[in-house]
Amino acid sequence: MGYIIGQNIIRKEAFNKVTGTAKYTDDFIATGIYHADLLVSPYAHAKIISIDISAAASAKGVKKIITGNDINVLCGPLIDDKPPLAKEKVRYHGEPVVMVVADCEQNAKAAVAKIKVNFQPLPVVNSVSDALKENAVLIHENLQQYKKNVSDVYPETGSNVCGHVKIRKGDLQKGWQESELTIESNFTLPQSDHAAMETRAAQCQIMPNGRVIVCSSTQAPFSVKEQINKTFQVPIEDIDVNVLFVGGGFGGKAAVQLEILAYIAAKAVDGHTVKIASSREKDMITTPCKIGLEAKIKIGAKKNGKIIVAEMHYNVDCGGYADIAPRIAKAIAVDCAGPYNIENISCDALSVYTNHPVATSFRGFGHTSLSFCIERMMDKLGAALNIDPIEIRMINALTEGCYSPTQVKVTLSNTGNFGECLNKLKTLINWHEGQRIVESNHLIRAKGVGCFVKTSDSPTNAISGVLLTFNSDGSINLNCGAVEIGPGMKTTAAQILAEKLKMDIGRIQVKMEVDTQTSPVHWKTVASMTTYMVGRAVISAAEDLIRQLLNGAATILRCTPEDLEIAEEKIFLKTDQKIYLTFKDIVHGFQYQNGNSIVGQIMGRGNFIMNQLSYLDKETGEGKAGPYWTPGAQAVEIEYDTIQHTYRILKAATVVDAGKVLNPKTVKGILMGGMCMGLGLGTSESFIYDAEGIVQNTSFRTYKMMRYGETPDYLIDYVETPQLDAPYGSRGLAEHGIIGIPAALANAISLAAGIDVTKLPITPEQIWQQKEGVRQ
Binding residues (CB under 6 A) for ligand FES: these are: 197, 248, 486
578 binds, among ligand FES, other proteins, none (CB under 5 to 8 A by kind): none
Which run of H or of E encompasses 445?
Answer: strand 443-454
Omega before 208 within 30 of 0, i.e. cis: no
Q: ∠ CA(544), CA(547), CA(553), 5° rounding?
A: 140
Applying CB under 8 A, among 58, 144, 575, 696 the residue interacting with other proteins is 696
**Restricting to residues 5-34, which ones interact with other proteins according to CB under 8 A?**
10, 13-24, 26-27, 29
Residue window 107-136: x/- pattern of binding to other proteins, with contact defined by CB under 8 A: --xx-xx-----------------------
Q: Cβ of residue 669: shortest distance to other proteins, in angstroms? A: 5
Residue range at the interface with other proteins (CB under 8 A); choices 81-89, 129-137, 551-559, 683-691: 683-691
Q: How far apart are CA 157 and CA 141, in angstroms?
A: 9
Query: Does residue 55 touch other proteins according to CB under 8 A?
Result: no
Q: How far apart are CA 316 and CA 327, in angstroms?
A: 10
Query: Does residue 707 touch other proteins according to CB under 8 A?
Result: yes
Q: Cβ of residue 404: shortest distance to other proteins, in angstroms? A: 30
Applying CB under 8 A, among 148, 296, 298, 665 the residue interacting with other proteins is 665
Q: What is the DSSP string of 272-312?
A: --EEEE--HHHHHHTS-BBPEEEEEEEEEE-TTS-EEEEEE
Which run of H or of E encompasses 163?
Answer: strand 161-169
β partners of residue 713:
651
70 binds, among ligand FES, other proteins, none (CB under 5 to 8 A by kind): none
595 binds, among ligand FES, other proteins, none (CB under 5 to 8 A by kind): none
Query: Does residue 218 touch other proteins according to CB under 8 A?
Result: no
Residue window 481-500: x/- pattern of binding to other proteins, with contact defined by CB under 8 A: ----xxxx------------
Q: Cβ of residue 691: shortest distance to other proteins, in angstroms? A: 9
Which residue's CB is nearer to other proteins, number 4 or number 373? Answer: 4
**Region of residue 190 (left: phi > 0; alpha: psi -120 to 50; beta: else):** beta
Applying CB under 8 A, among 7, 182, 229, 279 the residue interacting with other proteins is 279
707 binds, among ligand FES, other proteins, none (CB under 5 to 8 A by kind): other proteins
Query: Does residue 242 touch other proteins according to CB under 8 A?
Result: no
399 binds, among other proteins, ligand FES, none (CB under 5 to 8 A by kind): none
β partners of residue 286:
none
544: amino acid identity, one letter: D
Q: How far apart are CA 181 and CA 307, in angstroms?
A: 9
Q: ∠ CA(234), CA(239), CA(240), 5° rounding?
A: 170
728 binds, among other proteins, ligand FES, none (CB under 5 to 8 A by kind): none
Instruction: Give the HSE-up count for residue 299: Cα atoms under 13 Å, Cβ half-sphere.
Output: 27
676 binds, among other proteins, ligand FES, none (CB under 5 to 8 A by kind): other proteins
End-to-end CA distance of the chain: 59
Other Cβ atoms less than 10 A from the Cβ of 299: the count is 27
Query: Does residue 54 touch other proteins according to CB under 8 A?
Result: no
3-state secondary structure of 239: strand
Q: Where are the alpha helices (DSSP H) in 42-97?
A: 54-57
Residue window 712-741: x/- pattern of binding to other proteins, with contact defined by CB under 8 A: --x---------------------------
Q: Cβ of residue 674: shortest distance to ligand FES, in angstroms? A: 13
Which residue's CB is nearer to ligand FES, number 3 or number 714? Answer: 714
754 binds, among other proteins, ligand FES, none (CB under 5 to 8 A by kind): none
Applying CB under 8 A, among 228, 274, 706, 733 the residue interacting with other proteins is 706
768 binds, among other proteins, ligand FES, none (CB under 5 to 8 A by kind): other proteins
**Restricting to residues 506-545, which ones interact with other proteins according to CB under 8 A?**
none
12: amino acid identity, one letter: K
Residue range at the interface with other proteins (CB under 8 A); choices 73-81, 163-171, 392-400, 480-488: 480-488
β partners of residue 101:
36, 64
**Restricting to residues 171-210, which ones interact with other proteins according to CB under 8 A?**
195-199
Query: DSSP label at 478?
Result: E
Q: How far apart are CA 325 and CA 216, in angstroms?
A: 22
Q: How far apart are CA 746 and CA 679, in angstroms?
A: 10
Spatial contact of 716 and 654, defined as CB atoms under 8 Å apart:
yes
Residue window 624-643: x/- pattern of binding to other proteins, with contact defined by CB under 8 A: -------------------x
Query: Does residue 705 touch other proteins according to CB under 8 A?
Result: yes
Residue range at the interface with other proteins (CB under 8 A); choices 416-424, 513-521, 577-585, 672-680: 672-680
185: amino acid identity, one letter: S
Contacts of 714 (CB under 8 A, 6+ apart): 651, 652, 653, 654, 668, 671, 672, 675
Which run of H or of E encompasses 721?
Answer: none
Query: Does residue 769 touch other proteins according to CB under 8 A?
Result: yes
Contacts of 41 (CB under 8 A, 6+ apart): 86, 90, 92, 93, 94, 95, 96, 97, 119
188 binds, among ligand FES, other proteins, none (CB under 5 to 8 A by kind): none
